[in-house]
Amino acid sequence: MISIFKSVPKFPFIPNRYKAYIFSIVISVIALVSVLLHGGLKLGVDFTGGTLLQVHFQNDVSTDDLRGILSDAGFNITEIQKIRDSDKIKNAFLIRTALENNAGKETHKISLRLVDMIREKLPQNPVTVDSDETVGPKIGRELQQKALFAVLVGLLFILIYVAYRFDFRFGVAAIISLFHDVICTIGFISLVGMEFNLQSVAVLLTIVGYSINDSIVVADRIRENVKKPHKDLYPELVNRSINETLSRTMITAVSVFFVLVALQLFSGRVLSDFTKPMLFGLVIGTYSSIFIVASLVVDWELKSPTKRKK
């Protein structure tokens, strides 16, 4: 087995659990405050309805010029963002439009009229449509409900599995930790001004799966050590179990980290909105599986000991 430590380390994770609690509370509060100060999450077209158009021009054009052209034409433009130039695409822009009051089933025509207007106002600067995403208002609302349902159902089944496979206390602690990870990641998305869309939901579900996997590895080692003859107090046993699985946890985290960094650097904007929160979620998920889950179980056990633990 590959290990980054020559012997089992003895880091004091459990003795420092209250410091970890304070840190987690602070970053969770910062995350929630960020969402509140921004008036909620910056929902993407997937959830609000509207169009998201990516175009590029043959010649240079400024964001202000585009905004002026489209605003004068009466389009409800909510955002125009220039995409960083690459070897293949230059002078590229993302244009997001909100739904018009009478859009209804005609939402798909907005992007067509928008491109026609650009071509009319900039006839000497050919424009090419790279992607065109359109979501109606009804579909947007349905996607919001289904996204929330998917996250909540995922957490519920995780609670049931961990409670059955290990212990109800581990199940509750794991869910608290996962809520912590989700809240912190949502806060990160809010702080950096990213859109919250279906891709963000995929990020949250991926982080939940990654975090619970690490937590299960720790819980399994704790269960094995509890069954063995030992003289350690429960907090000492748990701390030793975390250290015994630390090498595996770090190797997994570092491997995933390098993959995400590579995607961030070389995949372009297509995956950038996925890899950025995933990098943050990787760090916060690894942290919570080491410091939060087992610590909560230890405090619960100290206040209300179970008969099977010695």
pLDDT in tens, 53-88: 888 888 888 888 888 888 777 776 667 878 776 656
pLDDT of amino acid 136 = 67
Q: Is 60 part of a structural domain of the chain?
A: yes
135, 161, 181: which is the final residue of a domain?
A: 135
pLDDT of amino acid 217 = 87
Instruction: Measure the CA–CA gap between 30 and 28, rounded to whole angstroms.
Output: 5
Token pair of 238 as six digits: 């748990």
Q: Where are the alpha helices (DSSP H) in the chain?
A: 17-37, 45-48, 63-72, 108-121, 137-165, 168-191, 198-227, 234-266, 269-291, 293-303
Residue 296 pLDDT level (bands cut at 50, 70, 90):
very high
113, 135, 157: which is the final residue of a domain?
A: 135
Structural domain boundaries, residue 156: 17-43+139-303
CB within 8 Å of 235: residues ≥ 6 apart: 14, 15, 298, 302
Place of tokens 């003795």: 15
Contact 194, 42 (CB under 8 A): yes
Whole-number percent of the chain with pLDDT over 70: 87
The CA R_g of the chain, rounded to the nearest whole Å, is 24
Looking at the fold, whether 102 and 143 belong to one and the same domain comes out as no
Domain with 32 in it: what CATH number?
A: 1.20.1640.10
The domain tally of the chain equals: 2
